[in-house]
Amino acid sequence: MPEPAVPPTPLVPLAALLSREDLALRQLAGPAGPEVTIRWAQTSEMSDPYPYLLGGELLLTAGVHIPGAADSRPGAAGSLEAYFDGYVSRIVAAGGAALGFGVAPVHDTVPRALAAACEAYALPLLEVPPRTTFSAVARAVWQLMAQARLAELRRVSEAQQSLAAAASRPDPVPSVLRRLAARLGGWAALYGPEGTEIAAAGREPDAGARQALAGLARVVTRGSSTTASDAVPGTHLSAYALGTGQGFVLGAAAPHREPGDHTIASVAAVLLSLLTGEHQSGTGAARSAALVRLLLGAAPQEVAPLLGEDRWYVVHAAPDRGAPDPVAASALGAALGSPLVDPDRDVVRVLVPADREPAAQSGWTLGVSAPAGAPGWPAADAQAARALARARATRVPLVRHGTRRAFTDLVPADEAEAHARTLLGPLGANPALTETLRTWLSLHGSWDRTAVALSVHRNTVRQRVARCAALLGADLDDPDVRMELWFALRREWSGGT
């Protein structure tokens, strides 16, 4: 007969039921240990319970069905050994997990022949004392099942939160793999379309298990199934196709298969699908056309309509730790709602449509420009760079370029620019001095913050500012001088961009 369908109930260790002092159950035969589990409890006095069992039951009986149980005349029992052999074999064939025999009201003791048959067929046999009702045993099983279900749900929920947090880190793929491996108590790996191992984390299995997992990943890559599982001695293997359509596969190897492991691994597979797939907003063909036209000499304002938006934010982002990898940069773009991402050394630049105002992202420090059309993109890029420098210096997750009307707007642009050139002329064409002075003034004369923003030593900042003061012949402790220089520097920077 085909294997019967079993409802997805949590398994209860038989040892947990035996440890209940209120039940006073005693095991008389069959295997014991944490690996012996039951799914539920069921009472039956049928001489052949096979048709009524689903598998995994603790079958409870008072022995009413035993020949001669209600008839004590000589010879009424027949061959009890043969009867119990057939009875126990049918329970085992149906997938029964254990047998509980009630001592009362029919029998005073558990029949020895029954214990012998259970021992022979490796079926755990429990003695249920007279004071313990079958309903109490069944209630205890359901209580243990509820506790197991609650523990499983809690474990899955905590794992989901942990994996989601890992996916938001600057190195999301390695972080998700590390967190998954820790949750499974084993090893997790990401395989590419050719079956190549791209990244891995956790306790590495032996060579045989690792080779078997790679083979399982290739089975999934070929598209015959979205998931697959297997086992080698001491290790359970599973593979999950990522929903990117690009052939990536998540593989996991663990010494044990715990309840909830499949759900946890599936959550990791979904997150990795998002991280490895290209975030689509607008057609790839339009973006390719825009790139080709730029390479062939078109102006940005000519190709901007192909991107589908008139105005954009420029975002400069730096990971809080380490350098961004391409996958982390793609994940950041997805979080900000744009596929237009440029990972450039230690900073990622993203073009974000103006209707999607950038928000702070966990694990990143962001500088955001004012919205700008294509002609203003270079200026917006400079704004985002300055905003990022200020964010890093002030240790805040996001700084936006100010767009409110300033008093500088009251002075005609040509006069303001002429004044700025005259005032800053002594600094000459020395961008290091000019940028140091501008940053130092923007950070209210803080040596340490300026050093952080410029990625130089604080003594270098002091030397440059002192050099500026000497060349300008100005007292930089005077707030009026600082205000005039700030005015000139802002106008000079705007005019230069």
Same domain, yes or no: 223 and 130: no
Q: Closest by alpha carbon to 272, among 216, 352, 198, 375?
A: 198
Does residue 238 lie in a domain region? yes
- What is the structure's pLDDT at 465? 92
- What is the structure's pLDDT at 27? 95
Query: Given 400, 419, 447, which residue is the final one in a domain?
Result: 400
Same domain, yes or no: 16 and 123: yes
For residue 373 the two structure tokens come to 């059309």
- What is the structure's pLDDT at 460? 92
C-alpha torsion 100→106→107→108, nearest 10? 110
Domains held by the chain: number: 4
Q: In this structure, are residues 314 and 377 in contact, taking their beta carbons and an 8 Å threshold?
A: yes
- DSSP three-state, residue 349: strand
Same domain, yes or no: 411 and 396: no
* Lowest pLDDT segment from 169-173, 243-247, 289-293, 361-365: 243-247
444: Cβ–Cβ under 8 A, 6 or more apart, which residues? none
- What is the structure's pLDDT at 99? 97
Same domain, yes or no: 393 and 431: no
Which CATH number characterizes residue 439's domain? 1.10.10.2840
Which CATH number characterizes residue 119's domain? 3.40.1390.20
Structural domain boundaries, residue 21: 12-145
What digits encode the pLDDT tens for the residues 322-344?
A: 777 776 777 787 778 777 888 87
Does residue 152 lie in a domain region? no
Which CATH number characterizes residue 234's domain? 3.30.450.30
Q: Parallel, antiparallel, or unpaired: how do β-strands 312-319 and 364-368 relate?
A: antiparallel
d(Cα 459, Cα 470) in Å, to the nearest integer?
Answer: 17
Same domain, yes or no: 390 and 320: yes
Does residue 7 lie in a domain region? no
Does residue 298 lie in a domain region? no
- What is the structure's pLDDT at 110? 94
The conformational region for residue 233 under phi > 0 = left, psi -120 to 50 = alpha, else beta, is: beta
- What is the structure's pLDDT at 497? 39
d(Cα 151, Cα 154) in Å, to the nearest integer?
Answer: 5
Same domain, yes or no: 185 and 214: yes
Q: For a pLDDT cut of 70, what percent of the chain falls above it? A: 88
What digits encode the pLDDT tens for the residues 421-452?
A: 888 888 877 888 888 998 898 888 899 999 98
Same domain, yes or no: 199 and 224: yes
Same domain, yes or no: 17 and 108: yes
Mean pLDDT over residues 242-257, rounded? 80
Q: In this structure, are residues 231 and 248 in contact, taking their beta carbons and an 8 Å threshold?
A: no
Query: Given 400, 416, 441, which residue is the final one in a domain?
Result: 400
Same domain, yes or no: 18 and 140: yes
- Helix 447-454 and helix 377-394, axial crossing angle in degrees, nearest 10: 130
- What is the structure's pLDDT at 281? 39
Q: Closest by alpha carbon to 54, among 113, 9, 102, 88?
A: 9
pLDDT at 301 over 70: yes
**pTM (global) more than 0.85:** no
d(Cα 393, Cα 403) in Å, to the nearest integer?
Answer: 21
Same domain, yes or no: 316 and 435: no
Indicate the average pLDDT of the chain.
83
* Lowest pLDDT segment from 117-126, 172-181, 322-331: 322-331
- DSSP three-state, residue 339: coil
Does residue 443 lie in a domain region? yes
Same domain, yes or no: 332 and 389: yes
Same domain, yes or no: 318 and 381: yes
Does residue 127 lie in a domain region? yes
Does residue 285 lie in a domain region? no
Query: Given 359, 383, 400, which residue is the final one in a domain?
Result: 400
pLDDT at 136 over 90: yes
Q: For a pLDDT cut of 90, what percent of the chain falls above it? A: 31
Q: Spell out the alpha helix ranges (H) of 240-366.
A: 261-276, 284-295, 300-303, 326-336
Mean pLDDT over residues 218-236, rounded? 82
Does residue 291 lie in a domain region? no
